[in-house]
């Protein structure tokens, strides 16, 4: 069994780190206040077990999405929830479905449960093959929307139509939905076979905290509560996540900044001749190309190394035809985007 390989996390400074889709801005000031408050003067609240079912976080998520709190399940990052969903619903004879490409953690978690994996390819036009998902035979299907590592988004209406035809559990993994135009929360509210998973790592700038949640049908919520660790989120994470979810103004402002920078990156890269997938997350998948070098796997590696020599870290996904020519570049601050764009331009001008 092979482990999931997360992006590189250099511990020395001086890097423009655009390789793991972290939010470039600090989280809401309400988060800092909530952690300080939970900590208190002497940390004495830490001696007590946290709320076993993360009530504060669930109440805040329920409010943010106008969703019944009894159907919200909190996790130690959304990875915890993906894992729990696979434990509860997949196994030998109960395949896990996923789009190809999508999140490489799914097959790792499926292998741990001895569950076969069914992959539904995304076509070169980046469209969802809903008929293939519906006929996949998966017990649960992870529909990553916006897709990572592509960044493409699928219309909510297509997913709604798919949900009514798919006989299994449809898990819409919305890790990047804060940066997209649409989401499937209304669908999760209505449909008995739709789960939406969310993380606070991206939109809420809390990757360091490991907090996520699932919006579920009542029965699924009940099952997840039974299989999860009885205290899966600590006190500080619960307090911080609840505060972040309550600060909708901060989220809208932060997402606005990132989308503006994303648009600029998209335009400048396109102008430079680097083809981009229309980005719906906080990253751009772009194919380096220059007069001398056509887009290819080798060209991608070459540009990657050039950026690296300028201490700009991006990520390659050489294992798939749709991503092998590309670089996945997180949307950073404007200064980080400028540093990346300058190095990209420099590479493009190389003979």
- Minimum gap (Å) between residue 176 Cβ and a copy of itself: 15
- When asked if residue 12 is in the footprint of a copy of itself (CB under 8 A), the reply is no
Q: How far is the CB of 11 from a copy of itself (least distance, A)?
A: 8
Decide if residue 81 touches a copy of itself (CB under 8 A).
no
Q: Rg of the chain over CA atoms, in angstroms?
A: 20
β-pairing verdict for 72-75 and 117-121: unpaired
Task: List, in order, residues 6 or more apart from 113 with CB less than 8 Å away.
Answer: 86, 87, 90, 91, 96
- Compare residues 226 and 267 and give the one whose CB is closer to a copy of itself: 226
Q: Are 188 and 160 in contact (CB under 8 A)?
A: no
| Region from 63-71, 78-86, 180-188, 190-198 binding a copy of itself, contact rule CB under 8 A | 78-86
Give dist(CA 61, CA 218) in Å, integer. Answer: 16
Taking the least distance from each CB to a copy of itself, the nearer of 1 and 271 is 1
242 makes contact with a copy of itself (CB under 8 A): no
Residue 234's alpha-carbon distances to 44, 63, 210, in angstroms, are: 14, 21, 10
The contact mask relative to a copy of itself for 33-62 (x = CB under 8 A, - = no) is --xx--x-xxxxxxxxxxxx----------
Q: Which two tokens stand for residue 45?
A: 């609240």
Asked if residue 87 binds a copy of itself (CB under 8 A), the reply is yes
User: Tokens 């919520």 — which residue?
Assistant: 221
Q: How far is the CB of 184 from a copy of itself (least distance, A)?
A: 24
Indicate whether 144 belongs to the interface with a copy of itself (CB under 8 A).
Answer: no
SS3 assignment, position 209? coil
Is residue 55 within 8 A of residue 79, CB to CB? The reply is no
- Of positions 98, 209, 251, 312, contacts a copy of itself by CB under 8 A: 209
Going by DSSP bridges, is the β-strand pair 212-215/72-75 parallel, antiparallel, or unpaired? Answer: antiparallel
Among 16, 27, 146, 217, which residue interacts with a copy of itself (rule: CB under 8 A)?
A: 27
The region of 124-132, 198-206, 270-278, 309-317 touching a copy of itself under the rule CB under 8 A is 198-206
Which of 71, 74, 77, 326 is in the footprint of a copy of itself by CB under 8 A? 77
219 binds a copy of itself (CB under 8 A): no
What residues numbered 91-120 form the site for a copy of itself, per CB under 8 A?
105, 112
Neighbouring CB atoms inside 10 A of 271's CB total 9
Which lies closer to a copy of itself via its Cβ, residue 29 or residue 321?
A: 29
Stretch that binds a copy of itself, among 5-13, 115-123, 154-162, 323-331 (CB under 8 A): 5-13
Shortest distance in whole angstroms from residue 105 CB to a copy of itself = 7
Q: Which residue intervals of the chain are DSSP H helices? A: 29-39, 55-65, 78-89, 105-112, 130-134, 156-165, 185-190, 218-227, 235-246, 248-271, 297-309, 334-349
Residue 17 near residue 7, CB atoms below 8 Å: no
Cβ count within 10 A of residue 14:
7
- Dihedral sign computed on CA atoms, order 17, 23, 28, 32: negative
Q: Is residue 16 near a copy of itself by the rule CB under 8 A?
A: no
For binding to a copy of itself (CB under 8 A), which residues are involved?
A: 1-4, 6, 9, 11, 17, 20, 22-27, 29, 31-32, 35-36, 39, 41-52, 76-77, 79-80, 83, 87, 105, 112, 201, 205-210, 225-227, 229-237, 240
């Amino acid at each position: 069994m092979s482990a999931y390989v997360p992006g590189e996390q250099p511990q020395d400074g001086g890097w423009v780190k655009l390789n793991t889709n972290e939010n470039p801005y600090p989280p809401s000031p309400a988060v800092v206040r909530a952690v300080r408050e939970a900590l208190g003067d002497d940390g004495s609240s830490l001696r007590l077990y946290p709320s076993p079912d993360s009530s504060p976080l669930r109440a805040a998520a329920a409010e943010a999405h106008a969703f019944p709190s009894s159907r919200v399940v909190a996790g130690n990052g959304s990875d915890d929830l993906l894992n729990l969903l696979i434990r509860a619903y997949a196994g030998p004879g109960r395949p896990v479905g996923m789009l190809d490409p999508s999140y490489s953690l799914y097959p790792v978690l499926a292998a741990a449960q001895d569950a076969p994996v069914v992959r539904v390819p995304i076509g070169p036009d980046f469209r969802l093959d809903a008929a293939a998902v519906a006929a996949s035979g998966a017990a649960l299907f992870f529909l990553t929307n916006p897709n990572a590592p592509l960044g493409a988004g699928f219309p909510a209406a297509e997913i709604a139509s798919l949900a009514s035809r798919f006989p299994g559990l449809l898990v819409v993994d919305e890790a990047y939905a804060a940066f997209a135009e649409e989401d499937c929360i209304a669908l999760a509210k209505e449909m008995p076979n739709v789960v939406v998973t969310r993380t606070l790592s991206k939109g809420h700038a809390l990757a360091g905290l490991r907090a996520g949640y699932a919006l579920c049908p009542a029965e699924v919520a009940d099952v997840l509560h039974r299989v999860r660790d009885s205290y899966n989120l600590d006190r500080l994470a619960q307090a911080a996540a609840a505060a972040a979810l309550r600060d909708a103004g901060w989220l809208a402002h932060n997402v606005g900044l990132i989308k503006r920078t994303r648009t600029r990156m998209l335009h400048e890269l396109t102008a430079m001749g680097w083809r981009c997938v229309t980005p719906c997350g906080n990253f751009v998948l772009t194919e380096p190309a220059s007069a001398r070098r056509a887009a290819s796997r080798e060209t991608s590696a070459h540009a990657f190394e050039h950026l690296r020599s300028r201490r700009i870290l991006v990520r390659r996904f050489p294992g798939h035809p749709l991503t092998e020519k590309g670089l996945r570049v997180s949307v950073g601050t404007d200064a980080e985007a400028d540093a990346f764009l300058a190095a990209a331009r420099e590479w493009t001008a190389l003979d």
